Amino acid sequence: MCMNTFLYCQYPCCIGQVRFIVATFALLAVMVGFAQHASMSIAIVEMVDSQMKNASCFDSAFLHVPNMELNISGERMKWSEIEQGFNLAAFYIGYVITTIPAGILCDKYGARYVLLSATLLSSLATVLIPIGASMARWWEVCILRVVKGLGQGAIFPCVSSLISRWIPPLERSTVVAAVFAANSIGIVLGYTCTGLLIYYWGSWPVAFYFWAGVGLLYSLLYGVYVFSDPQTHPQLHKSEFDYLAKTMVMKKSIGTPYKLIFQDRCVYGLIICQMGHDLLLYTLINNFPKYLNQVLGFNIMENSLMGLLFLLLWVSGFFGGMLADFLITKKNISVTLIRRLYTSTSNLGSYLFVCFAVIARCRMEYAITSFAVAIFLKGFFYTGGFANIIDISVHHTGFIISLINLLGATMGVTCSTMIGFLAQHNTIEEWELIVAVMGLFEVMSILLYFALSTARRRDWDYAEDEEMEPRPLQKRWYKHLSDSDHELRMEEERRAHEVLKENARTARAQMKEDIRNR
């Protein structure tokens, strides 16, 4: 507490908008976690005996980065494609184990110490990977990958819990999109920094040491500045607390209605769309560098530069979130419609361009452009299906997002294992088969999401002393109303929405005035 007080007194800029400081650390948690995760995807190209000479498009240059005869230090593993697939998939085994327990702990005790423990565990496993690889057997690294997954399985539930407790609904779409799309920044840094470190230092272990150090530094700063909710933050100014109290439902400790959650069809719609999203995203994260290296013939430098494409994921996620907030607050467009539009654009649109990239074969300019568009469209999911999770629940966000994230993460095991078995020779024909199989699941996931989903807060999420919001006026609900009654209800909803926005503006202005007068 003394250290906290000292830092806040020395750096008063950190007092004003505490909720955005928390959102920034949530963003950094996602970014660092995905960077540590993505480092393996590109480092494995140099950890195993190179098969680049067998690349289908080895003679088709694209970036023309001069090839150097690198003497990469570190143990070279003789892993088969199946063993490499197991190593990439092992992460998700640990990931699914801790996802639900982390969500339950966040709902009950808050996210502060859960996320701190998770980042420390992930960093410890990262620094030990070179030691495990030096034993020259693939399963030692598998075990460490499982341990890393145990740590990172808690990140999304913790971050979701922080957002649900700190960020008001009128600011939530932008923050959710920025925070969860930060995985793209982590992937970019994981790919680019890992590739450059290996290229210039001539050693693949140094990349793991670097990312472990970054994780430890983040953990130190996070432990000082972040608290689970506004009620427990010792330096939160009263003006900001009042603003949050007026614009959002404060988190309450109530029992989790597990039976009602598992009976809710909306939850199953969100699970299915998350699985469709994760199947394609984890394929890109885990196997994009291997495809570039072993099919298109890219070297380690070219591979690292291609990681910059994942910046498009964050750009579309962030600006897509801003557009969604504008459409919802200024144009009164249905939140459910926004979520469905964004989710279908992400899952189906992205899949179609991955198809174009594989069909383009060795025409590098078409393949890379198609991959770039596919990655860009993926970012819309964070304002679509992912934000939909926070829409339906305030009090049980941690558990629900843990459940959905757990089942979505099984796609990481599925895609890496499937590719290991189906692409043992890394031919384009094998990848065309993989894409065809994925397409069936993507189409099914969107159809079921449309049939089952809604953005309305669910009845089981309300505490006993909360007033339940009226059901939205959709056609199936107001057929029994006269035209005049329907118009009256619509006008009441519009006025209530304007009152909420006016209260938020007034509270925000008062908060800024108090900060200036301090």
User: Is pLDDT larger for residue 298 or for residue 446?
Assistant: 446
> How does the average pLDDT of the chain come out, rounded?
78
Most confident of 64-68, 109-113, 266-270, 334-338: 266-270
pTM above 0.85, yes or no: no
Give 503's pLDDT tier (boundaries 50, 70, 90): low
> Which of 279, 122, 307 has the alpha carbon at shortest distance from 199?
307
Task: Mark whether 217 and 355 lie in a shared domain.
Answer: yes
Q: How many CB atoms lie within 10 A of CB 269?
A: 21
CA 442 to each of CA 313, 384, 465, 477: distance values in angstroms, whole numbers, following the listed order: 19, 15, 41, 31
Task: Mark whether 407 and 456 lie in a shared domain.
Answer: yes
Structure token pair of residue 299 = 């070297």
pLDDT digits (tens, 9 = 90+) for 197-235: 887 887 788 888 999 999 999 999 998 888 888 888 877
Q: Report pLDDT for 374.
A: 92
Task: Mark whether 452 and 482 lie in a shared domain.
Answer: no
Say if 66 falls within a structural domain.
no
pLDDT digits (tens, 9 = 90+) for 415-431: 777 887 887 777 788 88
Q: Report pLDDT for 138.
A: 67
Task: Mark whether 150 and 262 lie in a shared domain.
Answer: yes
- The one-letter code for the residue type at 415 is C
Q: Which of 5-19, 206-220, 265-279, 450-464 has the lowest mean pLDDT?
A: 5-19
Q: Report pLDDT for 432.
A: 85
Q: Report pLDDT for 487.
A: 57
The DSSP result for 437-500, as a single string, is HHHHHHHHHHHHHHHH---SPPGGG--TTSPPPPPP--HHHHTTS-HHHHHHHHHHHHHHHHHH
From the number of C-beta atoms within 10 Å of its C-beta (0-12, 13-18, 19+), residue 484 rates as: exposed
Say if 57 falls within a structural domain.
no
Task: Mark whether 89 and 141 lie in a shared domain.
Answer: yes
Answer whether 72's CB lies under 8 Å from 198's CB. Answer: yes
Stretch 443-472: mean pLDDT, rounded?
A: 78
Q: Report pLDDT for 3.
A: 44
The DSSP result for 78-121, as a single string, is ---HHHHHHHHHHHHHHHHHHHHHHHHHHHHH-SHHHHHHHHHH
Stretch 502-509: mean pLDDT, rounded?
A: 67
Domain that holds residue 495: 475-517
Stretch 498-508: mean pLDDT, rounded?
A: 66
pLDDT digits (tens, 9 = 90+) for 12-37: 444 447 888 898 999 999 999 989 98
Task: Mark whether 226 and 279 lie in a shared domain.
Answer: yes
Q: Report pLDDT for 50.
A: 54
Assign 48 to helix, strand or coil.
strand
> What is residue 73's DSSP assignment?
B
Task: Mark whether 494 and 405 lie in a shared domain.
Answer: no
Stretch 343-355: mean pLDDT, rounded?
A: 91
Q: Report pLDDT for 42.
A: 80
- The one-letter code for the residue type at 85 is G
**% of the chain exceeding 70 in pLDDT:** 77
Say if 172 falls within a structural domain.
yes
Say if 256 falls within a structural domain.
yes
From the number of C-beta atoms within 10 Å of its C-beta (0-12, 13-18, 19+), residue 10 rates as: exposed
Say if 453 falls within a structural domain.
yes
Assign 11 to helix, strand or coil.
coil
- The total number of structural domains that make up the chain: 2
Say if 248 falls within a structural domain.
yes
Say if 70 falls within a structural domain.
no
pLDDT at residue 8 greater than cutoff 80? no
Say if 467 falls within a structural domain.
no
> Which of 289, 313, 443 has the alpha carbon at shortest distance from 378?
313
Task: Mark whether 343 and 429 lie in a shared domain.
Answer: yes
Q: Report pLDDT for 343.
A: 92
pLDDT at residue 320 greater than cutoff 80? yes
CA 330 to each of CA 138, 248, 333, 334: distance values in angstroms, whole numbers, following the listed order: 55, 19, 8, 11
Task: Mark whether 376 and 494 lie in a shared domain.
Answer: no
Task: Mark whether 261 and 320 lie in a shared domain.
Answer: yes
pLDDT digits (tens, 9 = 90+) for 279-313: 888 888 777 777 877 777 777 777 777 778 888 88
CATH number of residue 383's parent domain? 1.20.1250.20
pLDDT at residue 88 greater than cutoff 80? no
Task: Mark whether 498 and 395 lie in a shared domain.
Answer: no
Torsion, CA 309, CA 115, CA 147, CA 385, rounded to 10: -50
Q: Report pLDDT for 122.
A: 92
Task: Mark whether 481 and 440 lie in a shared domain.
Answer: no
